[in-house]
Amino acid sequence: MHTVTLIPGDGIGPEISEATKRVIEATGVAIKWDIQEAGIDVFEKEGTPLPQRVIDSIKKNKVALKGPITTPVGTGFRSVNVRLRQVLDLYCCLRPCKTFKGTRTRYEDIDLVIIRENTEDLYAGIEFKKGSADAKKIIDLINELTGKIIRPDSGISIKPISVYATERIVRFAFEYSRKNKRKKVTAVHKANIMKYSDGLFLETARNVAKTYPDIEFEDRIVDNMCMQLVQKPELYDVIVLPNLYGDIVSDLAAGIIGGLGLAPGANLGEEYAVFEPVHGSAPKYKGLNKVNPLAMILSGVLMLKYLGEFKAAERLETVVASLIAEGKHVTYDMKPTPDDPTAATTSIVADAIIEKLR
């Protein structure tokens, strides 16, 4: 019996979490769910969107399955998702992006793995609000040190990139490649412009790559990478990126394989793992029983593998693949047009998968 923390999240989170929970239970793997609410509704009730009990639960159970959680834009609380990754030192965000037969996309046979550094870069949360005393101090110091003029009405976000975190994530990319018989790792950066942050990422990645001579290594500048992924994604295999580029390129890769409804993810550290879809809480679809649960169900497949339940994971993935290939019990986003009257609901997709698992 595994005990797993289940965070349903907010927005569409609870609907897709329920669908995923039912499907995972139908695989026959014995899981005791420790259900922990977090997110925007919890903020209203408990004064924080991420109560300590949620973190304690993950620390106790080591593994969590998580629905998306809303982050207010510009103002309000900071991202629960980013905070969880930092507090639990979930330094790696693993996002496999693979095309399933029957998906409506311009591309075929795509099998990319995006590996995103999860703890630093512009997501470190080191920011100075426009007009604050601290922002003024930082601006004055930078103006003095660099001779460049930062305008006094600027807000500041800091981008730290360390050798420590880069080594760790690039090593993860190579170890993952070895274990999963992948051939090539591509490191992505903007080292031509940000010489001391992205430049350090690239230099460190190159040094780590030297210790893995059995796996090909190359690098790409992030803008070129985006263009290349749109034009010839089949040239790429495992892609390792700092936090911000990783976030953006993950969505791009999700688009290539047919949309956010199909892109799973895992946040991994030395001690803990939190599995969640790439997509967010899509608030406008909340409570409509309409959105695609497959990204979260496929995150559940990653979780089953992590728990060592390989047979169940493989069976569930095969069933999802056959459901997509048949094209009948799929949600609106996988139909020819979004208003297709034959689109299945979230819960019907789960029912159809459970039926196939029987």
Q: List interacting residues with ligand NAD (CB under 6 A).
A: 68-71, 81, 260-261, 276, 279-282, 291-292, 295, 333
Catalytic residue list contains 247: yes
Q: Specify the residue, 97 or 260, whose C-beta has the smaller distance to ligand NAD.
A: 260
40: left (phi over 0), alpha (psi -120 to 50) or beta: alpha
Catalytic residue among 21, 66, 98, 190: 190
Least separation in angstroms between CB 65 and ligand NAD: 12
**β-pair type (266-268, 92-98):** antiparallel
The CA distance from 165 to 49, in Å, is 27
Least separation in angstroms between CB 198 and ligand NAD: 23
CA-based angle 41:43:46, to the nearest 5? Answer: 110
Q: Specify the residue, 120 or 276, whose C-beta has the smaller distance to ligand NAD.
A: 276
Least separation in angstroms between CB 12 and ligand NAD: 6
Q: Specify the residue, 291 or 353, whose C-beta has the smaller distance to ligand NAD.
A: 291
Please give the structure tokens belonging to residue 97. 């992006």
Please give the structure tokens belonging to residue 185. 């790792």
Q: Specify the residue, 68 or 96, whose C-beta has the smaller distance to ligand NAD.
A: 68
Least separation in angstroms between CB 324 and ligand NAD: 13
Query: What is the Rg, in whole angstroms, of the alpha carbon atoms belonging to the chain?
Result: 21
Catalytic residue among 21, 91, 123, 333: 123
Catalytic residue among 10, 247, 272, 290: 247
- C-beta of residue 114 within 8 angstroms of C-beta of residue 255: no
The CA distance from 246 to 120, in Å, is 12
Least separation in angstroms between CB 147 and ligand NAD: 37
Q: Alpha carbon of 324 to those of 231, 250, 317, 339: distances in Å?
A: 25, 21, 11, 18
Catalytic residue list contains 223: yes
The CA distance from 317 to 319, in Å, is 5
Q: Specify the residue, 292 or 345, whose C-beta has the smaller distance to ligand NAD.
A: 292
Catalytic residue list contains 123: yes
Q: Alpha carbon of 26 to those of 37, 193, 299: distances in Å?
A: 23, 51, 16
Catalytic residue among 195, 223, 311, 328: 223
User: Which residues carry out catalysis?
Assistant: 123, 190, 223, 247
